[in-house]
Structure 1
Amino acid sequence: MRTVGSAFFVLFTVVFGVLALPSAWIAAHVVSEEGFVQLASPLSEDPEFTQALADALSEEATAGVDLPSGIAETVQPIVAGIAERITELPGFEQAWDETLTRSHSLTFADSRQLPPEADASSSFTLDVAPLVALVTTEIGNQFGVDVPAPQQTLVNIGQANHRALLERVETAASLWPALTAAAAIGAVLSLLIARRRSTTLAVLGLGVVLGGALLWFVAGFAPQIVDRTADANAVADVFKDALTVRAADGFQAWCLAAIAVGLLLAVAGLAARLLSGSRRRRLPSERTARL
């Protein structure tokens, strides 16, 4: 019975650990504003992403800039040209971080408090107004006029009913402390009731390795799955695809850390098992020698 009970709690630990790891990662890098900005901010230094963003943002910025009457037709082509090189403008990285902060606040706000322009059914709302403001500032500098920047330029990412999915993910992320505590309790109980704790520790470590490897494998498919859900807006597609790749890479790093911990536990258990076996073999010979 002790062996069966120990095996049950080993399985219990692995299952709750598999649930706790993505939950904790989402809480740290998606639900947390600071974590989300840290996750997405380096995209501004990725040449491939910034070029794609500049191309996609050109149309959005041209439509979003509120130009004074009389110069709109003349300035529109210039606006598009400036938008194409927006990543070269001073303050782009700061504007990008502000875009991420605003977007996170809109995305995780109560759907009843969203502005009318935001689609409450979308999974993410990107506010690129700080980037558009760079364009308007550059236009004003070139023509010596005051070109007002839009207060908000919203890009809805995702499809109908995705908002409900995001809310469920947010709820799941809030459970990571309870899931982690359950996994830890299961691990302790599996060792306490085990006949051979060294063997149980090794099996527990192997379970952590397998759980981490499974999550690493699943995370690798995330960019391909997201890539199949196209958005009507070019900015939405560029942002979604690039962020998904970074998120998958970041979570896989956590999975590798979990695998490393599992390997350490397995090695420690095997080493303890070998030492205890060697010790038991020595005891009979020592008793014989005394006789």
Structure 2
Amino acid sequence: MRTAGSAFFVLFALMLGVVALPSAWLASNVVAEDGFVQLTAPLADDAKFTGTLAGALAEEATASVELPPGVANAVEPVVRDVAQGIAQLPDFDRAWQDTLRRSHGLTFGGQEQLDSDSGGPAVFTLDVAPLVGLVTAELGGQFGVDVPEPERTLVNIGGTDPFDLGERAETAADLWPALAIAAGVGAVLALVLARRRSTTLALLGLGILLTGGVLWITSGLVPGLANQVGDESAVADVFKAALAERAASSFQEWCLAALAAGILLLVAGVVGRLLSGSRR
């Protein structure tokens, strides 16, 4: 009976742990604004992303200037040159971080949720208005005119969101502490009930190794799955692909930490079992 109870709590702990780990990662790197900015800020170093973004910014900036058609045609090459070199502008890092924080607020922060053209909320909404404002400010300085920054310039990513993934991510993030505590309690109960605690400890370590490996492999599939979801905007496509790569890499680092913990428990259990056998 004790063996069956111990085995039950081992499975109980592993099942909750496999949910707690991605939930904790979501809380730290997606739902938390600072974590999201830290995760996505390096996308500005992606040449493919910044090149695609520059084209979109040039179009938005040209529309913001509101010049007569003849003048606009002459100004457009200048706008594109400024947009292509936006990453070298002094305030680019500030504008990019402002873009990320605005975008996070629209998606997770409880601000007004804006619908996409297809009639539903987008999975993620990127507000590039600060970047457009950076381009228009540079143009204004060159032409001696005052060009106001647009209030919002939105790029909907992932199409409509019938499952309300943002809200589900927030719910999972809120639950991870309770899940982690319950998993820990289950592991302790498994050891308390076990006839041979060293064996149970080794089984816990082996289970963590297996579940961590499955999560590591599964997370590696995320970029490919993200690329299968098409977007109307080239900026949305490139941003989504780059973000999926960074998210998968970040979560796999967490999985490696879990794998290391599993190895330690497995080794401790095996050593304990060998020592107990030698004493007998």
Residue 87 of structure 1 corresponds to 87
The 8 Å contact of residues 57 and 135 in structure 2, kept in 1 or not, is answered as no
Tell me the distance in 1 between the aligned counterparts of 2:177 and 2:146. Answer: 51
- The 10-residue stretch of structure 1 (45-54 or 102-111) with the greater mean CA deviation from structure 2: 45-54
Question: 1:238-257 counterparts in 2 under 5 A?
Answer: 238-257=238-257
The 8 Å contact of residues 129 and 153 in structure 2, kept in 1 or not, is answered as yes
**AA of the residue aligned to 1:45:** D
Residues 56 and 242 of structure 1, relative CA distance in 2, 3 Å threshold = farther
Residues 116 and 255 of structure 1, relative CA distance in 2, 3 Å threshold = closer
Residue 113 of structure 2 corresponds to 114
Tell me the distance in 1 between the aligned counterparts of 2:194 and 2:150. Answer: 65
Measured after TM superposition, the shift of residue 174 of structure 1 is 1.2
The 8 Å contact of residues 16 and 183 in structure 1, kept in 2 or not, is answered as yes
Tell me the distance in 2 between the aligned counterparts of 1:267 and 1:56. Answer: 54
- 1:76 paired with 2:101, answer no
Tell me the distance in 2 between the aligned counterparts of 1:47 and 1:36. Answer: 20
**AA of the residue aligned to 2:30:** V
**AA of the residue aligned to 1:25:** W
- 1:218 paired with 2:212, answer no
Tell me the distance in 1 between the aligned counterparts of 2:62 and 2:216. Answer: 41
Residue 123 of structure 1 corresponds to 123
The 8 Å contact of residues 157 and 236 in structure 2, kept in 1 or not, is answered as yes
Deviations 1:104-162 (A, max 9, x none): 00112447x33578975211111101111111011111111112221111111122234
SS of the residue 2:125 aligns to: strand
Q: In angstroms, what is the RMSD of aligned CA positions? A: 2.0
The 8 Å contact of residues 2 and 194 in structure 1, kept in 2 or not, is answered as yes
Tell me the distance in 2 between the aligned counterparts of 1:56 and 1:272. Answer: 62
Question: 1:239-278 counterparts in 2 under 5 A?
Answer: 239-278=239-278
Question: 1:126-141 counterparts in 2 under 5 A?
Answer: 126-141=126-141
Measured after TM superposition, the shift of residue 56 of structure 1 is 4.6
- The 10-residue stretch of structure 1 (113-122 or 249-258) with the greater mean CA deviation from structure 2: 113-122
Tell me the distance in 1 between the aligned counterparts of 2:82 and 2:107. Answer: 28
SS of the residue 2:58 aligns to: helix
Unaligned runs of 5+ in 1: 281-291
Tell me the distance in 2 between the aligned counterparts of 1:243 and 1:52. Answer: 15
TM-score (norm 1): 0.89
**AA of the residue aligned to 1:14:** L
Tell me the distance in 2 between the aligned counterparts of 1:115 and 1:14. Answer: 39
Tell me the distance in 1 between the aligned counterparts of 2:135 and 2:19. Answer: 44
Tell me the distance in 1 between the aligned counterparts of 2:114 and 2:207. Answer: 47
Residues 117 and 80 of structure 1, relative CA distance in 2, 3 Å threshold = farther
The 8 Å contact of residues 30 and 36 in structure 2, kept in 1 or not, is answered as yes
TM-score (norm 2): 0.93
Residue 66 of structure 1 corresponds to 65
Residue 17 of structure 1 corresponds to 17
Residues 73 and 219 of structure 1, relative CA distance in 2, 3 Å threshold = same
SS of the residue 2:65 aligns to: coil
**Considering only CA atoms, is the larger Rg found in Structure 1 or Structure 2?**
1
Tell me the distance in 2 between the aligned counterparts of 1:9 and 1:252. Answer: 26
Residue 159 of structure 2 corresponds to 159
**AA of the residue aligned to 1:152:** R
Question: 1:196-215 counterparts in 2 under 5 A?
Answer: 196-215=196-215
Question: 1:183-194 counterparts in 2 under 5 A?
Answer: 183-194=183-194
The 8 Å contact of residues 66 and 150 in structure 1, kept in 2 or not, is answered as no
Measured after TM superposition, the shift of residue 47 of structure 1 is 3.3
Tell me the distance in 2 between the aligned counterparts of 1:266 and 1:135. Answer: 56
SS of the residue 2:159 aligns to: coil
The 8 Å contact of residues 56 and 238 in structure 1, kept in 2 or not, is answered as no
Deviations 1:158-188 (A, max 9, x none): 2223461221222122110111111101100
Unaligned runs of 5+ in 2: none
Tell me the distance in 1 between the aligned counterparts of 2:237 and 2:60. Answer: 13
Identity of aligned residues (%): 58
Residues 66 and 117 of structure 1, relative CA distance in 2, 3 Å threshold = farther
Deviations 1:248-275 (A, max 9, x none): 0000000010000000000011111111
The 8 Å contact of residues 124 and 157 in structure 2, kept in 1 or not, is answered as yes
**AA of the residue aligned to 1:76:** E
The 8 Å contact of residues 204 and 266 in structure 2, kept in 1 or not, is answered as yes
Tell me the distance in 2 between the aligned counterparts of 1:103 and 1:152. Answer: 10
Tell me the distance in 1 between the aligned counterparts of 2:57 and 2:19. Answer: 38
**AA of the residue aligned to 2:174:** S
Residues 117 and 271 of structure 1, relative CA distance in 2, 3 Å threshold = closer
For these two proteins, the number of residue pairs brought into alignment is 278
